[in-house]
Structure 1
Amino acid sequence: MEEIAIGAKPVKQVDPKKKRSNKRLTWATIKEQRQLIYMSVPLLAYIVLFAYVPIWGWSMAFQDYKPARSFDEQTWVGFKHFKFLFTDDNFMRVLRNTLAMSMINLILGFVTAIILALLLNEIKKIFWKRTVQTISYLPHFLSWIIVTGIVATSLASDGIINEVLMKLHLVDKPILWLSEGKYFWGVVGASHVWKEVGWNTIIYLAAMASIDPALYEAADIDGANRYQKMWNITLPGIKPTIIILLIMSIGHILEAGFEVQYLLGNGLVVDWSETIDIFVLKYGIAQSNYSLATAGGIFKTIVSITMLLLANWTAKRLGEERLL
């Protein structure tokens, strides 16, 4: 490597022989790993076809898109549909609902999954541990159609929830859970927890299995009880996993769901149940206003990417685990 001075600044000149040697090494590596490259081609093709090619459709958000017209015949309107979204009272309402239900699902989902994983980790009898795991996993494999049917039946005026509350004399008359908006967000959050809490514990239990058993043995010698070991060993041991999952969940902050709100919602709670996805379906796709629907989708994507990068940057500044 030689240095050539130009004025006061030295410039490094790359040796041509070394450059050719690096190229030969790169091609040799590619040749040795060509089987892996061939195996990755279908996956790359899938990603390109279903993740990147559809981005071309984002152009509809800047047009008054008409399905019968070719691309050259479309009328370009700039940010007209985005301006409509941010000045429309209905969109502000569904944005509020989406953020509220998403935050409820995020907080309840994380807290309940971590608590259940900690409790399962303390069960010493393998039979009982597997039994509880199996029971808690089962709702995950049910479709939302079945889950919302169970929820609606349980919360009916003559359902089991009202029957139990009245038997315990906690209420004097049945509560109309699905007819009053103030209950709807809580119902959605509880439904998500019941369906997914068992499944969400899997990765935490896997992280707990990697904790060095010697730490627990040392804690036993020091006289620590179970709660002290959970707080001082187990939770710090799975902290990186919690941070990574939290960052990923924050990136889906506008993914409050669609099926549960659409199936449990009705005219009495419409001001509380509609999310961005339902708004896009109702005012975009159902009315053939594909430009408005596309603008709503772009808004969700931009917010998700921004929140993901912000959460990752915050974790980096705090010295925690991060994705990027």
Structure 2
Amino acid sequence: MEDMLSRYSSDGNGSYIFIRGHDGRNSSIAVVESNVDVTSDLQISFWYYMNGVGIGKLTLGKVENGAKTVLWEKQGRQGPSWIQASVNLPRGSYVISFSATARLIYGGDLAVDDVEIAPITTTTHAPTSTLPPSRKLPFACNFDLGPGACGMDLIPSIGNNVGWNITSKTFTHLGYTYIPGDSSGQKGNYLLLNNWNLGENGDAAQIVSPVLQNAGVACLSFKLYQAKISSGTLSVYQRLLPSMELVLLSEEAKKSSRTPSEWKTVMITLRNSKYFQIVLEGSYTGYLGSVIGVDDIKIENGDCKSIFFTSILKALNLSMK
């Protein structure tokens, strides 16, 4: 936990409250609460930290006369920094509470600090910073020219223990073939999540797209290889800009040893956002066979269902010629 929170509270000193993901069992919920008597215009402000692959949900709520109301809520990973939130409180006498859950037993720690109830203040926000140059859709990257040629960033785990390697080779270990090469079968490149230096269960590394620009619905597709049920999880996020909100879209994991080990196509319809980035985060399990392959990332205009059926029709037309 200390490594994940950089060993500091939100202001660099002092203490904070947190939950340990590995302590959670059977969807258990951790709660801290207090009675309040709000007779004027007040707000509650606090800092929160939610940066693990197994982060669940943090909820601020109130209970009044037996009725529960959600005042504020965040779910999933929110980024590698402390974030401040302020919520206006309704008038009345009630119980106010923070409740927290972990989604996984690893990487599920979250923290809260500097909780304060004070009169509502009007703040003037600084102008939104200028976004970096963006690319219009469609976007495609098969890594044959390297991730840099596509504008992709490969970000290793904290401590540089686990990361993404670009390779064209078959990945084998102790005589077992985990990944037979790239998704095309033509000796091209693909990205391989691998243990760099004493990686541990829960270490996560990211593939981050450049800033992309779109108007309307868009579809993300990519090829994914997970050799074993111990391969780990690939979490798919969309970072909405300029708000920087990180939205969990999907989690991919091999759930059965009976599922064939092969490249599969993953297709996900994205949230509407004029500017955004895609973040693919691979988590390392620490077990034998904890490797993940990613290849052939595409982001196109339109919803995934329409794109899928269009590709089927094209394939049928080609086969009939």
TM-score, shorter chain, exceeding 0.5:
no
Greater Rg by CA:
1
Which of the pair is proportionally richer in helix? 1
Which of the pair is proportionally richer in strand? 2
TM range (shorter): under 0.3
